[in-house]
Amino acid sequence: MKILLVEDDGETADYVARGLTEAGHLVDRAADGREGLILASDGGYDALVVDRMLPKLDGLGLVRALRAAGVKTPALFLTARAGVGDRVEGLEAGGDDYLVKPFAFAELAARLNALARRPPLQGEPTVLRVGDLEMDLLRRAVARAGRRIELQPREFRLLEYLMRRPGQVVTRTMLLEGVWDFHFDPRTSVVETHISRLRAKVDRDFGADLIHTVRGAGYAIRAPDRG
Amino acid sequence: MRPIEGSGRRRGLPAWLRTTAFRVTLLHLVLTLAGTATLSGVAWLATIGFAARQLAADVEQDAGVLLRVARLGGAPSVAAMVDARMAADRTGTEYYLLAARDGARLAGNLAQAPRAAGWRTLRLEGGEKPGAEVLAHGTRLPDGAFLVVARDLAPVRNLESRLLGAAGWVGGTALLLGLLGGALMGHGVARRAAAMGAALAAVEAGEIGRRLPVRAGGDEFDRLAGRINATLDRLQELMATVRQVTDDVAHDLRTPLSRLRQRLEAAQRDAGPQGEAVTGAIEECDRILGVFEALLRIAQVEGGARRASFSRFDLSGVVEAVAEVYGPAAEERHQTLVARVAPGVAAWGDRELATQMLANLVENAVRHGREGGTVEVGLERGPRGGAVVTVADNGAGIPASERGRVFRRFHRLDAARSSPGTGLGLALAKAVADLHGMAIDLGDNAPGLRVTVSVPPLPRQDARSA
């Protein structure tokens, strides 16, 4: 992916750029809002990573200006502000995701992947498939290898969230936000317990595991390797 | 907004009736009326007394003349004199009776009369003016005949009724003007007090820049408003300072902590499988950040700025979601999480914060509840359109003497000191409850802790669309 990083703090910028480059992405850097706006206006990027507090033009202003100009490149805000209203403010300005500093690099990588690979809104699929697992979104039914699996509504949403991002790493906080609408970090490992419940239903009685733990990052659902 | 003691419509009286100004006017009015009454009394005594004495003197003089006539010429002369007097009386206000010793009438126009000497007030029965009152004086003449001289009291009575009428007009006008003035003053004062109250309520609701109206006149109300405004200015300054400091701390601490975390993470990547120690350091770093985060959030919530973005949200949905999220966590501790949630209950506030408050409470219940016990999460409709959220466990509970203190930052019960946790969960829950005007109460679940959160009803304009 081609990613534009707009960040004035040199050390954070180095760290993010290095990580993204190692992960195989192409990274351009801008150190202030105006430079970022000029680069991003081409629209040639797959995703933008924008710090909220920037010299010359702040992050909110940058994304607002881009959206006003019709540039729809997905944008992720980085911020040192973790206020309750700040996230909403960022999303209202046209941002697509919001990450509070400091963050684990794996979190940023997973979220960028999710943003850039978001499926287009039209042509919404009615059936999701990963390996021999099948989810019928209209009948709200799940089956694996032809055997029906009974899920609670929230388990269904959790599995749906994973199956809509096959092969992608999904972090704990992404699940908390996306499935339960929790925008804070509970001290109890609630995500882990829900995942293990889901695994008991989806993976336990079948040969190959579909839900994988990605160490230090989160979870991913993917079909077993055939080779 | 918290209702202020005594601000409700007590006894259904309108606000202007319950103002100091109206009460002062009322008192003033009572004193004015008492003064008018005294003045009227004095005037009454002076005029009516004078008129009555005048009339009596007239009668006395007339009777004296007739008595002298009687001494000189006896009853016949008196009779002639009386006849002459009656003939001369054009006003028809003079009355006489001359009776012989045996009671036979000798002269006069009085039909009946007392036979005792001295003063009397008589009411005429018949004659030209039946029912008229007269002042009569009886005299025994030297030859044994009896003379009554009387005068009509109508002029005195007329004067009385005139005086009464005048006093009534004066009193009535004073009463009316007083009431009107009191109502106007009371209304004015009530309106100004209401304007001040509305401005203060807006400030309390988070509109911190709002100020009390001050008129150019500069009366005591304006001086008071000016004083309050100065206090609000100071308060706003302090809040801005706190906010600035918080923001600075947030930024200045977050940045180095971020770098620390980044370096640790980079080191972890380079260290490969030997990175266990680094992983521990990252976890510790995250813990510091977590505490820091919670403190900032409590400060932000206590600042009250979030009130500005309050909206109506589905409280039933929030309670259900939180209970659902913690269900598996409770199961891991072999607890049964029982959720009884009344459907369709809405509340006014910040959904995200309410979710976090509830999550903290349920998390506490799961964490400190007895292994294998029951965690209850409930939502029911409360009195007057409100709602009540309960979270109960059957763990060790909190001793009654400790209950007031557990909401303080970093306060942890001795028993909980060894277990992980920041000691900020309940402090945040309390801050969120206060922000929403919710009362949070710790009770005994015998055994265990029962937390009750009383949620106020929706604000009126929003309840209608419910």
Name the more confident of B247 and B369: B369
DSSP state of B339: E
Burial (0-12, 13-18, 19+ Cβ within 10 Å), A221: buried
Taking residues B374-397, what's their average pLDDT?
A: 88
Predicted local distance difference test score (pLDDT) of residue A17: 92
Is residue A78 within 8 Å of A186, Cβ to Cβ?
A: no
B262 to A189: CB separation less than 8 angstroms, yes or no: no
Query: For B425-448, how does the pLDDT look when each residue is reduced to its tens digit (9 = 90+)?
Result: 888 888 888 888 888 888 888 888
A183 to B301: CB separation less than 8 angstroms, yes or no: no
Taking residues B118-129, what's their average pLDDT?
A: 79
∠ CA B290-B294-B296, rounded to 5° = 115
Euclidean distance between CA atoms B311 and A85, whole angstroms: 13
Euclidean distance between CA atoms B399 and B449, whole angstroms: 9
Q: Which residues of chain B have a CB within 8 Å of the CB of A79?
A: none
B262 to A11: CB separation less than 8 angstroms, yes or no: yes
Whether B265 contacts chain A with CB within 8 A: yes
The ipTM (two decimal places) reads: 0.82
Query: Nearest C-alpha of chain A: how many angstroms from B232?
Result: 24
Closest residue on chain B to A83 (Cα): B297
Query: Nearest C-alpha of chain B: how many angstroms from A83?
Result: 7
Interface test with A, best of B279, B352, B360 (most A CBs within 10 A): B352
Predicted local distance difference test score (pLDDT) of residue B420: 52
Query: For B142-159, how does the pLDDT look when each residue is reduced to its tens digit (9 = 90+)?
Result: 888 888 998 888 888 888
B329 to A105: CB separation less than 8 angstroms, yes or no: no
B325 to A190: CB separation less than 8 angstroms, yes or no: yes
**How many C-beta atoms lie closer than 10 Å to residue B82's C-beta?**
23
A187 to B257: CB separation less than 8 angstroms, yes or no: no
Give CA torsion, residues B356, B361, B364, B369, to 10 deg: -150
B290 to A185: CB separation less than 8 angstroms, yes or no: yes
What six digits make up the tokens of B119? 């003063």
Interface of B with A in 72-131 (CB under 8 A): none
A and B: number of Cβ contacts within 8 A:
96
What six digits make up the tokens of B161? 């009724």
**How many C-beta atoms lie closer than 10 Å to residue B354's C-beta?**
25
Show pLDDT as tens, one digit a residue, over chain A (227 residues).
899 999 988 888 988 998 899 888 999 998 888 888 989 888 789 899 999 888 888 888 899 999 998 888 899 998 877 666 778 888 888 889 888 888 888 889 899 988 877 665 556 778 888 888 889 888 888 988 888 999 888 889 999 999 988 888 999 889 998 888 888 878 778 898 899 889 988 888 887 888 999 887 889 998 876 54
Euclidean distance between CA atoms B352 and B359, whole angstroms: 10
Q: Which residues, other chains included, contact B168 with Cβ-Cβ below 8 Å and sequence gap of 6+?
A: none
Query: Is the pLDDT at B272 greater than 50, yes or no?
Result: yes
B254 to A80: CB separation less than 8 angstroms, yes or no: yes
Predicted local distance difference test score (pLDDT) of residue A158: 92
DSSP state of B111: S
DSSP state of B372: T
Sketch out chain A's domains with CATH numbers.
Answer: 2-116 (3.40.50.2300), 127-221 (1.10.10.10)
Taking residues B2-25, what's their average pLDDT?
A: 63
pLDDT confidence tier of residue B215, bands split at 50, 70 and 90: confident
Predicted local distance difference test score (pLDDT) of residue B378: 92
Query: Is the pLDDT at B68 greater than 80, yes or no?
Result: yes
DSSP state of B189: H
Query: For B156-188, how does the pLDDT look when each residue is reduced to its tens digit (9 = 90+)?
Result: 888 889 888 888 888 888 888 888 888 888 888
Name the more confident of B277 and A30: A30
Predicted local distance difference test score (pLDDT) of residue B412: 64
Name the helix (H) or strand (E) containing B336.
strand B336-341
Sketch out chain B's domains with CATH numbers.
Answer: 1-204 (3.30.450.20), 220-303 (1.10.287), 310-463 (3.30.565.10)
Query: For B245-267, how does the pLDDT look when each residue is reduced to its tens digit (9 = 90+)?
Result: 766 776 677 778 878 888 888 88
Whether B151 contacts chain A with CB within 8 A: no
Closest residue on chain B to A18 (Cα): B266
**Residue-wise burial string across A159-180, b where 16 or more C-beta atoms lie within 10 A, e elsewhere:** bbbbbbbbebbbbbbbbbbbbb
Closest residue on chain B to A184 (Cα): B356
Query: For B318-368, how does the pLDDT look when each residue is reduced to its tens digit (9 = 90+)?
Result: 999 899 889 888 988 899 999 999 998 999 988 888 998 999 999 989 988
